[in-house]
Homo-oligomer: A and B are copies of this chain.
Amino acid sequence: MSFEVLVKDKTTRARRGRLETPHGVIETPVFMPVGTQGTVKTLTPEELKEVGAEIILGNTYHLSLRPGIDIIRLAGGLHEFMHWDGPILTDSGGYQVFSLSRLRKITEEGVAFRSHIDGSPHFIGPGEAMAYQQAFGSDIMMVFDECGPYPCELDYARRSTDLTLKWALHCKRLHDNRDQMLFGIVQGGTFRDLRRRCAEELVDIGFDGYAIGGLSVGEPRDLTWEITDLTASLLPEDRPRYFMGFGKPDEMMDAIALGVDMFDCIIPTKCGRTGTAFTLSGKVVVKNSAYREDMRPIDPGCSCYVCRNYSRAYIRHLFNTGEILALRLVSFHNLHYYMSLITEARRAISSGEFESFRRKVHAQYKDSSLTAARE
């Protein structure tokens, strides 16, 4: 397994790279569709390949609750269980334990919590997160971290960063399989000193890649960019950088310009299920009655299966009548859009035109009001 930077942009800090995993090579920058519960919602693995997905996400918190680690182990790992033979990155569960679970009790060893589904008691610490991700056979594992809230007191953020670093070291010591990569996660809230210390200590421990965590959790966008800029600049050039749970089209371009290589976000699939499509002319809320008689495809400039075969009027009808095919078609189109966008971004980096490409994407979304979120 290796990561190689192939091209560096001259105007921005964008870079084009290649990451080798046991299940295939990933070109970066890369967008990773989210398969929280062992399925990228509404789609088959074959469809994910058709839209151009190179790597997908799974989530340790959700999968440990349902179906449970024993079932995935019995299946021979997550790839086999869900019938996806490409690379998988799994979140450690840290984010969801703090955002979804109930009655949390945090200790040095980990987090005791109750399931958001049935209230049953569970415990995840660095040891569990590693054991679970090893059972999944994830190509990329994430360390178990504490993702603080925003706003956050300095004292809380400091303790949280200490814990994240302690758990990161614990995870690293348990990392014994070289067929799986392990990424560290930089926390520290919006405090520059904490971010710096967290990044430096993680780099000292040494990981296969580094994630920027704890951002896009409610802070003003200026602060998001300030901290992203700082954090990315503290991470080694020769390791991939992953901005967790982040991915509006225009903002992805901004993060790429700051040197970020990897993204995941539920937006394309969530919007797909709620009737909003991404196009070369911005967003189209295809479920709206405005499209009742519109016989054009979602995006006349798109060559995907959906745009080749279905009209806005038909898709609007499917949403209007509650038909599941609607959710499939727009999810498919949106992921195709994201994959095309990121492929174009890579080309633009290679040809030295990334900055103008970034501006073009911004122009397409100047009225965008989508908010990022993780499931």
Residues A324 and B41 in contact, CB atoms below 8 Å apart: yes
Encoded as 1 (CB less than 8 Å from any B CB) or 0, chain A from 307 to 319 comes to 0011101101110
Count of chain copies: 2
Residues B317 and A71 in contact, CB atoms below 8 Å apart: yes
Chain B CB within 8 A of A293 CB? yes
User: Closest residue to A82 on the B side, CB-wise?
Assistant: B314
Chain B CB within 8 A of A364 CB? no
User: Closest residue to A68 on the B side, CB-wise?
Assistant: B292
Residues B67 and A323 in contact, CB atoms below 8 Å apart: no
Chain B CB within 8 A of A170 CB? no
Encoded as 1 (CB less than 8 Å from any B CB) or 0, chain A from 68 to 104 comes to 0011001100000111000000000000000000000
Residues A320 and B83 in contact, CB atoms below 8 Å apart: no
Residues B74 and A293 in contact, CB atoms below 8 Å apart: yes
Determine the distance from Cα of A67 to Cα of B324 in the docked complex, in whole angstroms. Answer: 16
Determine the distance from Cα of A327 to Cα of B327 in the docked complex, in whole angstroms. Answer: 13
Given contacts A74-B295, A292-B67, A292-B71, contact A37 B323 (CB under 8 A): yes
Determine the distance from Cα of A327 to Cα of B41 in the docked complex, in whole angstroms. Answer: 12
Chain B CB within 8 A of A347 CB? no
Determine the distance from Cα of A307 to Cα of B86 in the docked complex, in whole angstroms. Answer: 20
Determine the distance from Cα of A277 to Cα of B277 in the docked complex, in whole angstroms. Answer: 33
Q: Tell me which of B67, B293, B318 contacts A71 (CB under 8 A).
A: B293
Task: For the complex formed, measure the closest distance between the CB of A322 and the CB atoms of chain B, giving whole angstroms.
Answer: 9
Residues B74 and A325 in contact, CB atoms below 8 Å apart: no
Given contacts A67-B292, A74-B293, A74-B295, contact A324 B83 (CB under 8 A): no
Which A1-60 residues sit within 8 Å CB-CB of chain B?
37-39, 41-44
Determine the distance from Cα of A328 to Cα of B62 in the docked complex, in whole angstroms. Answer: 22
18 contacts between A and B (CB under 8 A): A37-B323, A38-B314, A42-B325, A42-B328, A62-B321, A66-B317, A67-B292, A67-B316, A67-B317, A71-B317, A74-B293, A74-B313, A75-B313, A75-B314, A81-B311, A81-B314, A324-B328, A328-B328
Which 4 interchain pairs have the tightest Cβ spacing?
A67-B317, A42-B324, A83-B309, A37-B321
Beyond A37-B321, A71-B317, A324-B324, list 9 extra A-B contacts (CB 8 Å). A38-B317, A39-B323, A41-B323, A42-B324, A44-B328, A66-B320, A67-B292, A75-B295, A75-B311
